Structure 1
């Protein structure tokens, strides 16, 4: 499914439900360039520590634009012993919302643009219909500007906090409480002070306005809600191929400024890393995505049974559509299933040593997932 500025809002519920029902997700990105200095193979090498690789990419790669984001959800059908997929291609472009919103500058790498053009990439769709976005800091600044203008227009100097109840109007926050409320980003303090009989959580309205909901519940219900909250926060397993740049650009463009040091993400799995780690290291010769997918069709591996959900684009691996982000995400998911099924047919725990392109550093990563035999 193609998602652009014109159908973004209408597609959100479909995207949310696909993610919610999925057993795991696969992602991929297409960029306007990779490195503003030496090419990536020269920029990084196998002797780099994960921190060194991260810092080099952070310095030389973040001024490019992620302008197509691919997402493929995989849901296992136990009765039919098959995976049902839903694929999304998001076209993205930071078009300014108004005169005061950020006017993003980015650079292009001629070789990357030439290569994508040779693959039939639709640049017009990106620039004319790409989905605009803000990161968290930019959104906060824009909202503050809006509130300031609104306050000036109605003669009120106090910011308004909107109640999620539509029958209630905005309430003015007293000066002495404003700083405290501004710092309440979670509800651990309230949970500590009222550990019994109350369930406290921070929620958002459709307009992304935060409010605190306090519910009176018995101890059993409170524990049940806490478990649900923890499950939501843990999230789905996300699979990518050589995915460090994809993750870095996703955080940088849509969430916040990249941290100074490499962080640990426990729910990410890299199929390129899997292919270079035992027991696959002795079985797989080439780890580029296209070649990896071909090798995983042959013995001792077995291709998984996959069907496309109704209403979504169907991909034929015999006719490669590489470098369309959604297709690459789809292929990445297929590779993961094939390798996972090779390891076993029940619940399996996989340990991966840190290598040069790993997301997490100085740890042995522990991924637990259910492997469905195909």
Structure 2
């Protein structure tokens, strides 16, 4: 397993990071989730990403239980705050000082740890003054409850303003967690160049486009039974944008490219995001332990310019690049 620095910090993370969105506490049983975590550890993954909103806290609890007995100092544990949790009262959401302070304490209890390595703003909060949010994160760091601060799906302007305030408060934002794949490239025009200037890395989610880039969804064919596209707990909604026949037909053109390299299409997809030097880690999930070992092999793959060009040509017409699609929810009230 290769490691990369997170932003301009001295903090290293495994470039393949295990994420438990849509799996732990909801899509798969707890014993299977635990096996997936152990498979990740066996494969050399030491970095784990979750959030308080995943299965309304259950994902954090399952991850905490699965990691019991593992040396804490040998792990990098990430979680997030923003979306509604608990009974979803008026202060159970957002990035207010109240919600951030209550959120970190609840996450630490569920994870069974005294601190998280990275605490992330899961989205930008248009209802809370950014000064309040950043000051609260600074206090969380000074209290030792989080070692580093990151964000998720912030646009370039939000990153600039957030980093400026963070530095005034004595810390830095080290990471952003956007969606990024060979099909979804909305961060490339604005977010990535801005992040490089600010010393911020990307921890990207959905590098295989919800499973579409594995090639298992075929144009004109029924959806595979038990796949994410048939999951009515949330997975089907996220993957629907990729299921048009024209996109699935283009994805199949990646098969010979992967075959020529002696790798799977999933490994090709993960290696593609890791080819971006602003990406510190690719988040991968799993509903079966054997999926982990396959995805981890992407850490060994280096794609040259010729291969990257072939991928662009194969997917041309289905690649989404509009930077305006990097956005957070509108005002809730």
Same fold (TM over 0.5): no
TM-score, structure 2 normalization: 0.30
When you count strand as a share of all residues, which structure comes out higher?
1
When you count helix as a share of all residues, which structure comes out higher?
2
Structure with greater Cα Rg: 1
